[in-house]
Amino acid sequence: MIPINKPQLDDTEREEVLKVLDEGILTSASNFGGKRVQDFEGLLANFLHVKHAVAVNSGTAALHASILAAGIKEGDEILIPSFTFVATANSVACTKKIPIQ
């Protein structure tokens, strides 16, 4: 079996995960996320030479956010690949757009 979801972490990454667990704060009620999320977004924006970067928790959330950010109108059609994960079509449908293959 191919372990497609097995984390690939080196010692530095393991140490960072343990630091987060030791802090005891895994979530934040802030609309801007916790300090580590804000730090990551700032570093990513600097790396990409853009004004803003937004971190989300999944590819599904990224698709959903990108559709909302694009300003596509309700009822508009969005082309999606025929061979994809269901989240692609779901992200289109839940924003009241029409997925088209």
- Residue 41: the pLDDT is 95
**For the residues 19-38, what does the mean pLDDT come to?**
87
| Rounded CA separation 93/86 (Å) | 11
- The label of the residue with tokens 């950010």 reads 69
Range of the domain at 91: 59-100
Question: Quick count: other Cβ atoms within 10 Å of Cβ 22?
Answer: 8
**pLDDT for 5-26, tens place per residue?**
888 899 999 999 999 999 888 8
- Residue 100: the pLDDT is 94
Residue 26 lies in a domain: no
Helix (H) or strand (E) holding 79: strand 77-79
Residue 80 lies in a domain: yes
Residue 92 lies in a domain: yes
How many domains does the chain divide into?
Answer: 1
**pLDDT for 38-85, tens place per residue?**
999 999 999 999 999 999 989 999 999 999 999 999 999 999 999 988
